[in-house]
Structure 1
């Protein structure tokens, strides 16, 4: 086992190569294929799929768009989608078990309702605020991040941004094989492989599989995961491509809901204790099957249609909440929750692009629709009798018997929902000159949610009652312009509107039925520049987002009832710089500063005006340095900084900011095989990546080292 406590010599060995004399120039002729060099070449002129449906490049898009390549993600050693995407500008993690371990924050807003998650351009609907797919970066070709409102492109939600995970696809040009096997701290291991290429002139394929397991960094912190992705591509004609894909994920995350603070502080004596029960359970299984047709009958017309079916099964048996009781000197444990989710989403997304010229002006018009039918069933044991006296009594903070999950009622169906959604959208871009283009988009979204509540009669007979039939209509739009004084420099501005759901659309509650979705808008302006022949890219953006019609408790109401009042906003600055320099140096740097606040928010008789909304860091930064010491030896050093947050509306519970340093060395043993040493949290910083309750911190991974062998042919 690789020891987690690295000696000073090992640390020096990691850092000294960055000061060594570069031999890359003399060895350029035999540069290895296995190491990742110059990954950002001409990123600015590569079409993206997320900031616009028209396939505009970064320089052509009047919005903040960023791409993280799969090769770069894997070279850095990021082990989850959240780890990878939080390297992007202004994106931070709010991942906890309650949101499926995928929650994100951006531009002053957080959670699956405000940061939309897409897979190959198709939105994933959170069930009870939980998204559990995808999670493994091995099957990823790239991740594209759109910051700012995305409702115009993808329907309700995403006032803070959208993250689009794009899977690996068949390469019809040549056969390729890649694999990696690694082992490291916390008895963590991973093995992954992928192969793909042409079968003949008509058929190409791709298959990837990844398996990982770890003992975790807290007591009983075991986790494991399996990801499988396969696709077959048929191209009967140059103008027609049909791709059939299937993606499967089976995760059993670490059964850890956080570490309770003692007297308001993290205590060294309990930071590796796990207060969940011994027989806790958390398992997420997701499977998605997709058929995608792309047809371009002429240069002026192209058609895309994606039909898909996603199934999700979630099981949950946990004791979730832990609080320090100063009067007794004990940790009080409570909240036994047994939950099952079964979800099926069937849908189709189709669009047509028409390219034409109006009076000599180039125009691109896209029109399309998105339609979904979603079935969701929620089962729980919330009607269970309370635990008998003494069963859930307070436990010693440091030495205790975890106990067993308590249930006398059994997990039984409680409600199911049927959601039918469709949207109609259009996007247009008019190129007025070589320097100036304007674009506009509009989206009409309609969703109907029916909620059937289950009750139990004599003998356990089930009775279903339709308790909610709610239809929501939304129209969102945006307009933007891009001015390019030179082909490598863009100045842009945009105005966009947005809609956020109240909670989770497909689990829309009866109590929310009287209200409409919250609305918002954004003004953004920025500059983007490509230089050094495409090996450098710099961006800067300034924005302001306002969100209205927040849900709040009516002061003095008994029983408590809610109303839609108030406003919250965020304004900020973002900047990023990417450089691949001669001599083997590479730099990726980004940072954001924002002011997020409740402008007007009165709830339960308490004013939160001027307070920072919970789970929103107002400063973030990332820095990655790469130095290719020789054509066969590469070093990397990375810094992740996240500013302080609050876990409550009143800002009484402060979560400190943190800075974590990661690093790595890769050595090409041969042209196709490399040995990699990656170090995480080099200085062994104790930090809370997010929270589960006000004083229940989910701690990040301590100092760890992983060694792997990777191959590519």
Structure 2
């Protein structure tokens, strides 16, 4: 497999380089995107001057949303180092801890406000990409226009969702203009990519299209790791009348890889030295390159419809069908088996997922005396199906100092074989009321959920679950003339669980609630947005992994409370762009079952994280067009065990970028972890820790026509 990706990538790079030199396909990245999800009022430093619907499903200013919202726009995605994966794009976002399991080519990992969020907190164009178990969806940032983060409960708008917040990815869509863009690059591990982004509009101006694609492959930080991935996304927008528009879209991804292995290592030997070993090398491959299987096939198809009824009222519908098929078999480490040997176990799964989502809503404005109303009424439906078979076996250990590969693996024994079907229907309403500078936001939603588990193991059977829940949000803000908007809000969440307990049944749905108070500041003397917030979140019916269990056993562990504070600044001051974030989390287990001690802090949650990125563009002279950027990310200490006896040390990582833009082409050198700092990103348990990514330098060139 190693030879094939490298040959393919070499051919693609040569072809793309030829396009760049002779004039081919390109797209300027600064065009206005007319999207239902986001409307750009002014180009800014990742959020200033923007309106977003992620926090309300109405296109309103960020400052008017009674919760903290962060936006990573296309300009940031192009400027920041290490944005080849979704979780990497969130490294400079306050309240988000990304890459918690280290380098992982096939999964995005992130926590929002201290809660793991990638499974029930991932959305694409306002519709959920629900995930459970190993039925994950993967999204390439090259296909995105922006990434938005709504922090805190979102169930009043979206139904089942992570209590800590959600990430909404906004896809590239037709712009109504002619677009031509190509880009190619390669990093220090030999992983290269080539991408294109094209679009056009007909002569009448009522139909346009956009086609975006990328292929990437080559090495990773782990020895003998390799991958080949191709993605293609297309969309066509029709405007049959001035009042109606419909966008049809689809995407396809195919991925084949040999695994990266910087995660799932023991605490001793990563966070601290192990006698006779020291630290396990960060590029150590504890698997077996000759016995490594991973195959992903992923597709989406859908449409976005909008019809203006009378100038004041609009009806919209978003509909999408998504499917992913994953077949995987690999060796994982499971702690120390001897002085220098890691125990290992084989794991494999065959997973198929089908997901259908539809969201229909009507929105409008009207006045009642001195009160102005922005109203939203909606109905959404989610149908999720997963068919999964999981296997496990114990395997021979591997010596860290003298690894031997090619040892035959024992056959996997199936320990889980089931299908789960979930249907969720929700009705919701929102009224944002303005009385001069005073803003009141009222949300209410009720969900009905039907779940069926068909356990096909010999001792299994059929079980069903019916649940219903009301969730809501109340927010109050006041817009001062000087740009300050203080706000306060209370929101609740409801998140049905598809986790299976030891008895073959489903766990109770998670619940959550949050108080948040803060202030948003949009100054009138420079382009920027500063947000400070304080919050108190409680998550109930928490399900976690029993430490040391192999295969992993899931159990209810109780209730977790997190009190925290965030400070985030996104500033565009002349030739300087500044991104800054500071997050403080005080997490505590408030009620518990099993072995979890009440009063302790859950694993993987650092008390303090911080980041600062400064970018300067030289405006004139011989170096006009040169941009220099540098940033630092601080990851505070966290715990590796429930007893809070094993501490994962804090770490600081430096990033840098050097870019040159001239006319319709540009070149960039972007480096994440500039000084190659070795650190542990987090530990799920004393036998499952993940190294943070080492130095990754990427050289790229792009051209537009």
Name the TM tier (shorter chain).
0.7 to 0.9
Change (3 A) 1:40 1:609: same
Q: Residues 440 and 479 of structure 1 are in contact (CA less than 8 Å); yes or no, is this contact kept in structure 2?
A: yes
Match of residue 420 from structure 1:
423
- The correspondence for 2:612, drawn from 616, 620, 623, is 623
- The correspondence for 2:658, drawn from 657, 665, 679, is 665
Q: Residues 155 and 423 of structure 1 are in contact (CA less than 8 Å); yes or no, is this contact kept in structure 2?
A: yes
Match of residue 19 from structure 1:
none
Q: What is the deviation of 1:426?
A: 1.1
Match of residue 145 from structure 1:
149
Q: Secondary structure at the match of 1:83?
A: helix
Q: TM-score, normalised by structure 2?
A: 0.86
Change (3 A) 1:42 1:565: closer
Match of residue 635 from structure 1:
628
Q: Distance in 2 between matches of 1:454 and 1:470?
A: 17
Q: Distance in 1 between matches of 2:210 and 2:147?
A: 18
Q: Distance in 1 between matches of 2:116 and 2:415?
A: 31
Q: Secondary structure at the match of 2:111?
A: strand
Match of residue 107 from structure 2:
101
Q: Secondary structure at the match of 1:345?
A: strand
Q: Secondary structure at the match of 1:59?
A: helix
Q: What is the deviation of 1:665?
A: 0.9
Q: Distance in 2 between matches of 1:414 and 1:421?
A: 23
Q: Residues 74 and 137 of structure 1 are in contact (CA less than 8 Å); yes or no, is this contact kept in structure 2?
A: no
- The correspondence for 2:452, drawn from 440, 450, 453, is 450
Q: Give a deviation string over 1:667-690, Cα, whole Å, max 9, x none.
A: 23x301112111221111002234
- The correspondence for 1:82, drawn from 73, 78, 87, is 87
Count residues with an aligned counterpart.
Answer: 648
Q: Distance in 2 between matches of 1:150 and 1:405?
A: 48
Change (3 A) 1:133 1:393: closer
Q: Residues 349 and 368 of structure 1 are in contact (CA less than 8 Å); yes or no, is this contact kept in structure 2?
A: yes
Q: Give a deviation string over 1:617-657, Cα, whole Å, max 9, x none.
A: 22111111111124311111111221122233222332222
Match of residue 293 from structure 1:
305
Task: Determine whether 1:179 maps to 2:179.
Answer: no
Q: Residues 44 and 59 of structure 1 are in contact (CA less than 8 Å); yes or no, is this contact kept in structure 2?
A: no
Q: Residues 204 and 232 of structure 1 are in contact (CA less than 8 Å); yes or no, is this contact kept in structure 2?
A: yes
- Match runs of 1:428-577 below 5 Å: 428-433=431-436, 435-455=437-457, 466-486=461-481, 488-502=483-497, 505=498, 508-509=500-501, 511=503, 513=505, 515-533=507-525, 535-550=527-542, 566-577=558-569
Q: Give a deviation string over 1:134-189, Cα, whole Å, max 9, x none.
A: 2x1111100111011111111123100010000000011x2122221112201121
Match of residue 600 from structure 1:
591
Q: Distance in 2 between matches of 1:190 and 1:42?
A: 25
Q: Distance in 2 between matches of 1:574 and 1:417?
A: 38
- The correspondence for 1:375, drawn from 364, 379, 385, is 385
Match of residue 319 from structure 1:
331
Match of residue 319 from structure 2:
307
Change (3 A) 1:206 1:99: closer
- Match runs of 1:39-118 below 5 Å: 39-40=43-44, 43-77=47-81, 78-96=83-101, 101-112=107-118, 116-118=121-123
Change (3 A) 1:440 1:511: farther
Q: What is the deviation of 1:455?
A: 4.7
Q: What is the deviation of 1:283?
A: 3.0
- The correspondence for 1:238, drawn from 232, 235, 242, is 242
Match of residue 647 from structure 1:
640
Q: Secondary structure at the match of 1:138?
A: helix
Q: What is the deviation of 1:599?
A: 2.2
Q: Residues 286 and 398 of structure 2 are in contact (CA less than 8 Å); yes or no, is this contact kept in structure 1?
A: no
Moved more, 508-517 or 369-378: 508-517
Match of residue 282 from structure 2:
271
Moved more, 517-526 or 259-268: 259-268
Q: Distance in 2 between matches of 1:562 and 1:127?
A: 13
Q: Give a deviation string over 1:497-530, Cα, whole Å, max 9, x none.
A: 112444xx3x555747475323221111111111
Q: Residues 391 and 413 of structure 2 are in contact (CA less than 8 Å); yes or no, is this contact kept in structure 1?
A: yes
Q: What is the deviation of 1:355?
A: 1.6
Change (3 A) 1:107 1:405: farther
Q: Residues 42 and 534 of structure 1 are in contact (CA less than 8 Å); yes or no, is this contact kept in structure 2?
A: no
Change (3 A) 1:375 1:566: closer
Q: Distance in 2 between matches of 1:658 and 1:562?
A: 30
Moved more, 464-473 or 225-234: 464-473
Moved more, 469-478 or 696-705: 696-705
Q: Distance in 2 between matches of 1:446 and 1:90?
A: 30
Q: Secondary structure at the match of 2:157?
A: helix
Q: Secondary structure at the match of 2:132?
A: coil
Q: Residues 322 and 331 of structure 1 are in contact (CA less than 8 Å); yes or no, is this contact kept in structure 2?
A: no
Q: What is the deviation of 1:465?
A: 6.6
Q: Give a deviation string over 1:217-247, Cα, whole Å, max 9, x none.
A: 1212212322211100001111111000112
Q: Distance in 2 between matches of 1:618 and 1:137?
A: 29
Q: Distance in 2 between matches of 1:413 and 1:211?
A: 34
Match of residue 6 from structure 2:
none
Change (3 A) 1:349 1:118: same
Q: Distance in 1 between matches of 2:192 and 2:70?
A: 30
Task: Determine whether 1:216 maps to 2:220.
Answer: yes
Q: Secondary structure at the match of 1:395?
A: strand
Change (3 A) 1:129 1:216: closer
Q: Distance in 1 between matches of 2:470 and 2:405?
A: 51
Q: Distance in 2 between matches of 1:125 and 1:324?
A: 35
Moved more, 647-656 or 90-99: 90-99
Q: What is the deviation of 1:494?
A: 0.3
Question: What's the RMSD between the two structures over aligned residues?
Answer: 2.8
Q: Secondary structure at the match of 1:166?
A: strand
Q: What is the deviation of 1:692?
A: 5.9
Q: Distance in 1 between matches of 2:660 and 2:487?
A: 42
Match of residue 373 from structure 2:
363
Q: What is the deviation of 1:395?
A: 2.7
> 5+ residue gaps in structure 2?
1-27, 32-41, 547-552
Q: What is the deviation of 1:269?
A: 5.8
